[in-house]
């Protein structure tokens, strides 16, 4: 797979930690040129420095996926630095868990803005480049929460299923001009739950993660697999979760 990945220019949102960071490190090791976007500049700088010191190629831009301008700037950075963009990985996401009847409208809007609109903005930024090149690859990081619906995840799952539907629509409309992959992780050991407002829920999930969660490296490997396929093969959907997950 390395021969298919080497030299490709890959933009990644949410790249400062967790799944995004793992993707960046693996792809850079495999010879990709990675363009990292996230809000925490200090972490991005550390990752780029590590990749550079290990003979990889990486640049970063502070990126809030709620800003269409930021996503356009991230793609422009890829083109200005490396001359093209081969893969856009829409990885940034967030969650607020609560019963729908609690009416956490602020939390709902944040999830819609980050999980769904942030993915749309990534697609909007990348597609003009892909059209000009005649090729490209969109990878959307979704979630198993959209496959098995459980209480307190209704709106979060809805945003992820919106991305799932969007991905399939984009794939069909592309008519082979670009590839589209949806990857749905299960429980993964990341900082994803750290910002949950409900401390009780946060503590329960963290305890569950200690015994169940898989490494973000497993998701990075799935991303690498999808990118590494020959250009005429589109890996549409990958579900990757702990073997013991319900």
pLDDT tens column, 99-108:
999 999 999 9
Triad 91, 92, 95: Cα angle to 5°: 120
Is the model's pLDDT at 1 over the cut of 60? Answer: no
Q: Report residue 4's pLDDT band, with 50, 70 and 90 as the boundaries.
A: confident
Rounded to an integer, the average pLDDT of 115-119 is 98
Is the model's pLDDT at 138 over the cut of 60? Answer: yes
- Determine how many CB atoms are found less than 10 A away from the CB of residue 206: 14
- Determine how many CB atoms are found less than 10 A away from the CB of residue 203: 12
Q: Report residue 246's pLDDT band, with 50, 70 and 90 as the boundaries.
A: confident
Domains of the chain: 2-238 (3.40.50.720)
Rounded to an integer, the average pLDDT of 72-100 is 96
pLDDT tens column, 156-200:
999 999 999 999 999 999 999 999 999 999 988 877 666 667 676
pLDDT tens column, 206-230:
777 677 888 999 999 999 999 999 9
Triad 222, 228, 230: Cα angle to 5°: 135
The CB-based long-range contact list for 47-54 (8 Å cut-off, 24+ gap) reads 47/15, 47/16, 47/21, 50/25, 51/24, 51/25, 54/28, 54/29
Distance CA 150, CA 123 (A): 29
Active-site residue, from 60, 82, 121, 156: 156
> What's the pLDDT at 146?
87
Q: Report residue 3's pLDDT band, with 50, 70 and 90 as the boundaries.
A: low
Bridge partners of 141, per DSSP, are 183
Q: Is 156 a catalytic residue?
A: yes
């Amino acid at each position: 797979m390395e021969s298919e990945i080497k030299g490709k220019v890959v933009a990644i949102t949410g790249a400062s930690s967790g799944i995004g960071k793992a993707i960046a490190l693996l792809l850079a090791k495999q010879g990709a040129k990675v363009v990292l976007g996230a809000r925490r500049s200090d972490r991005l700088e550390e990752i780029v420095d590590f990749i550079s010191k290990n003979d990889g190629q990486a640049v970063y831009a502070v990126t809030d996926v709620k800003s269409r301008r930021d996503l356009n700037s991230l793609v422009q950075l890829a083109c200005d630095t490396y001359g093209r963009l081969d893969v856009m990985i829409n990885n940034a996401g967030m969650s607020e868990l609560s019963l729908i009847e609690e009416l956490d409208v602020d939390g709902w809007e944040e999830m819609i803005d980050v999980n769904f609109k942030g993915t749309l903005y990534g697609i909007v930024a990348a597609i003009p480049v892909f059209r000009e090149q005649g090729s490209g690859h969109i990878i959307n990081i979704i979630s198993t929460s959209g496959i098995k619906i459980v209480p307190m995840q209704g709106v979060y799952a809805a945003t992820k299923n919106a991305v799932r539907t969007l991905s399939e629509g984009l794939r069909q409309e592309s008519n082979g001009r670009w590839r589209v992959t949806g990857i749905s992780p299960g429980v993964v050991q990341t900082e994803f739950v750290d910002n949950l407002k409900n401390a009780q829920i946060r503590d329960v999930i963290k305890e569950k993660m200690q015994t169940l969660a898989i490494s973000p490296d497993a998701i990075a490997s799935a991303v690498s697999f999808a990118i590494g396929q020959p250009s005429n093969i589109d890996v549409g959907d990958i579900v990757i979760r702990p073997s013991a997950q319900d």
